[in-house]
Amino acid sequence: MVFDRRGRLDMPADSFLVEVSTDNSNWEQAAGFSDLQLPWTKTYVQLDHWQGHQMYLRFRLKSDDKLGDLGIHFDNIRIQSGVDLDAPENPSPLPKEYRISKVYPNPFNPSTTIEYEAAGAGPVEFTIHNLLGQVVWSSVETPPSAGRYYFRWNGSSRSGQALPSGLYFLRLSHSGKPSNVHKLMLLK
């Protein structure tokens, strides 16, 4: 996403946040700004983390309301896909393999975000195993194209019951071929 902004905020009490949600209920911060005074400036916000999901965007302004002449202005808001040659950092190329790229937080309680890369469209199976090697949870995600995706796991079993604290192993498989394995530590 790219937009122009200008403004004057009381640092650090005032801030301007760009937030993203995939369900219009749970919001995550994509970017935050707290500038003392800023002329019109082109601003870039990377949304790669939410690629492949329907996105809801919102701008949040926070103020302690101590200085009355403060404010921020936005203009020319655009959502762009692909490579933006004007951006300071071009997005990384599309993945060429299937793999779990990041799990955070880890250790976790009560849920964790699992980021993965898909080399193409189609089903990707995730299984979570306990220390005995038993599958305690599984899911099939279906990315629409090559890219980086994520989902959240809430620390529950396939039947929806909360699992006990401990070490678990997350495995990704595509077309029956296993990929990398990540250790997960559930703490309660």
**Segment 52-99, tens digit of pLDDT:** 778 889 988 777 666 565 677 778 888 876 655 555 555 567 888 999
Assess if CATH 2.60.40.4070 describes domain 99-186.
yes
pLDDT score of 164 more than 80? yes
Domain residue ranges in the chain = 2-78, 99-186
**Residue at token pair 């995706």:** 149
Provide the pLDDT for residue 83.
54
**Which of 12 and 50 is assigned the larger pLDDT?**
50
pTM beyond cutoff 0.85: no
Confidence at residue 169, expressed as pLDDT on a 0 to 100 scale: 96
